[in-house]
């Protein structure tokens, strides 16, 4: 059984979802790479931001 | 003499127009394969299949039909998006009937989202097939 941490799961989720979003939402290879990177940063960045928010709310 | 406006002829599709949609749903990336987008097909297959397999390896719950719970029905609809992967999981009793660990909860979401992503990929393959997207 695999037991990833929450953050590792987020990284994997962001990677796979970004690949699919990039391929389906853009037409050119360059556009796909840029959009995929954008989605990945947005996924991971949102999680990090939400984590810090919850940390300060808890304090 | 008035000239008629030239409109581009709609792209013609040979064969069954929904083949990419159905094949793309059944096997992740296969819809792009028949539209001759090899790299996209490979990337979609790897991403969606890996997400599904990792979900199962994390002890994901695999939803079944007719459980009576609306949330379970939505989970079933998401799971069904993985096409043949879902049926393989059901035939070989992969996955768990209930979520017992935190990682299993992550895994359940992985499997559901893999199905939803495959729906998007199948629709994209259909758009490529009928010429709506290049």
**Residue B16 CB partners (closer than 8 Å, separation 6+):** none
- In this predicted structure, the answer to whether residue A55 has a pLDDT above a threshold of 80 is yes
Task: Supply B15's token pair.
Answer: 């064969």
pLDDT category of residue B14 using cuts at 50, 70 and 90: confident
Q: What is the pLDDT of residue B134?
A: 82
- Give per-residue pLDDT as tens, B22-38: 999 999 999 999 999 99
What share of chain B in percent tops pLDDT 90?
72
pLDDT category of residue B11 using cuts at 50, 70 and 90: low
- What is the rounded distance in angstroms from the CA atom of residue B44 to the CA atom of residue A13? 14
Reported pTM: 0.89
Helix (H, G, I), strand (E, B) or coil at A19: helix
> Of the ranges A17-21, B8-12, B58-62, B104-108, which one carries the lowest mean pLDDT score?
B8-12
Q: Which chain A residues are within 8 Å of B57, Cβ to Cβ?
A: 1-2
Q: Do A2 and B124 touch (CB under 8 A)?
A: no
**ipTM of the complex in this document:** 0.91
Q: What is the pLDDT of residue A59?
A: 84
Q: Which chain B residues are within 8 Å of A21, Cβ to Cβ?
A: 120
B23 in A contact zone (CB under 8 Å): no
Q: What is the pLDDT of residue B65?
A: 87
Q: What is the pLDDT of residue A42?
A: 98
CA distances from B26 to A16, A19, B16, B134 (A): 19, 19, 16, 22
């Amino acid at each position: 059984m695999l037991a990833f941490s929450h953050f590792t799961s987020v990284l994997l989720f962001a990677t796979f979802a970004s690949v699919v979003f990039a391929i389906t939402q853009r037409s050119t290879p360059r556009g796909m790479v840029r959009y995929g990177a954008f989605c990945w940063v947005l996924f991971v960045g949102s999680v990090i931001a939400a984590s810090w928010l919850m940390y300060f709310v808890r304090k | 003499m008035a000239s008629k406006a030239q409109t581009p002829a709609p792209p013609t599709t040979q064969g069954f127009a929904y083949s990419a949609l159905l094949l793309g749903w059944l096997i992740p990336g296969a819809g792009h394969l028949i539209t001759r987008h090899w790299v996209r097909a490979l990337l979609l297959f790897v991403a969606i299949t890996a997400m599904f397999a990792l979900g199962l390896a994390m002890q994901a719950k695999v939803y079944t039909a007719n459980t009576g719970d609306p949330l379970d029905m939505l989970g079933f609809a998401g799971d069904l998006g993985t096409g043949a992967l879902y049926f393989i999981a059901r035939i070989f009793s992969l996955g768990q009937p209930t979520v017992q660990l935190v990682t299993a909860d992550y895994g359940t979401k992985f499997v559901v989202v893999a199905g939803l992503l495959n729906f998007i990929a199948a629709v994209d393959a259909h758009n490529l097939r009928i010429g709506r997207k290049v």
